[in-house]
Amino acid sequence: MSHITLIRHGQANSQATNEADYDRLSALGHQQAAWLGDHLKTTGQHHVRLYTGTLRRHIETAASMDTGLEAVRDARLNELEYYTLAQAMLDEHGLAIPLEQTSFTAHMPKTFKAWSEGRIEGAPETFEAFEARVTGAIKDISAQDGAALVVTSGGVISMIMRSFMQLDIENMAHTALAIFNTSAHRLFPIGGRWTPVMFNAIPHLEHPDRHHAQTHV
């Protein structure tokens, strides 16, 4: 039966300060993706379609998963440019750029709120444009037959959850903050509509030897 499984990419370059430097997997990111691919095989999870964004971290994650499927690359699945938004928030509103993971918990909701309200002049795209491309991509993927894997990013996944669960901006931001690297999120058709039935699953990282690999950044 058709379903869509969204996968966040593996850990990227967490020491980056701009979009370009961030866009490559760390050694751990490749290992997370390989473990996920092994888990899908050993548990008999059958997919017939694979989609990724066009970002390097998406492509590398799919490659390390080694599903045997040929990926369809769709730029609509690319992440929002958070580093660019953060710099614009500093320049335009004086909001300091977070330097550690815990700082993002306050920074992201404020940034998403300003972005959604059109108060970031330096945004590379509007919130509405991001929402339209992401929901359009998922609509097109859901119109095709067969179970699909979609390798993308946390912001994209949080937008998809917003669209299906009617999340407000603050809850969308906190959803994005919660998403683990290489976590799985599933949409399933119930009663004629696509419905989230799984969120942030990381069974491939639950063994005690892999707890160190449960990363968000």
In angstroms, the CA 151 to CA 62 distance is 7
Which pLDDT value is given to residue 15? 79
In angstroms, the CA 145 to CA 151 distance is 18
pLDDT at 197 over 60: yes
170-191 mean pLDDT? 97
Half-sphere exposure of 157 (CA within 13 A, CB side): 32
Q: What percent of the chain has pLDDT over 70?
A: 100
In angstroms, the CA 107 to CA 190 distance is 36
Which pLDDT value is given to residue 103? 82
32-56 mean pLDDT? 97
6-31 mean pLDDT? 92
Which pLDDT value is given to residue 160? 98
109-141 pLDDT, tens digit each? 999 999 999 999 999 999 999 999 999 999 999
Q: Determine the distance from the C-alpha atom of residue 16 to the mean position of all C-alpha atoms in its chain, rounded to a whole number.
A: 18
Taking a C-beta distance cutoff of 8 angstroms, is the pair 28, 210 a contact? no
Q: What percent of the chain has pLDDT over 90?
A: 90
Residues 6+ apart with CB under 8 A from 97: 86, 87, 89, 90, 107
Which pLDDT value is given to residue 1? 56
62-83 pLDDT, tens digit each? 999 999 999 999 999 999 999 9
149-163 mean pLDDT? 98
Residues β-bridged to residue 186:
5, 198
Q: What is the CA radius of gyration of the chain?
A: 17
Q: Indicate the average pLDDT of the chain.
A: 96
17-40 mean pLDDT? 95
Domain boundaries, the chain: 4-85+126-213
168-172 mean pLDDT? 98
In angstroms, the CA 110 to CA 82 distance is 12
Higher per-residue confidence, 53 vs 98 = 53
Residue 165: C-alpha distances to residues 6, 10, 30, 48, 125 (Å):
15, 25, 31, 26, 23
**Long-range pairs of 200-204 with CB within 8 A, sequence gap ≥ 24:** 203/39, 204/32, 204/35, 204/36, 204/38, 204/39
Q: Residue 51: in which H helix or E strand, if any? A: strand 49-52
Write down the pTM of the prediction.
Answer: 0.96
Alpha-carbon dihedral angle through residues 73, 76, 78, 83, given to the nearest 10 degrees: 150
15-20 mean pLDDT? 84
175-185 pLDDT, tens digit each? 999 999 999 99
In angstroms, the CA 149 to CA 5 distance is 5
CATH architecture of 4-85+126-213: 3-Layer(aba) Sandwich (3.40)
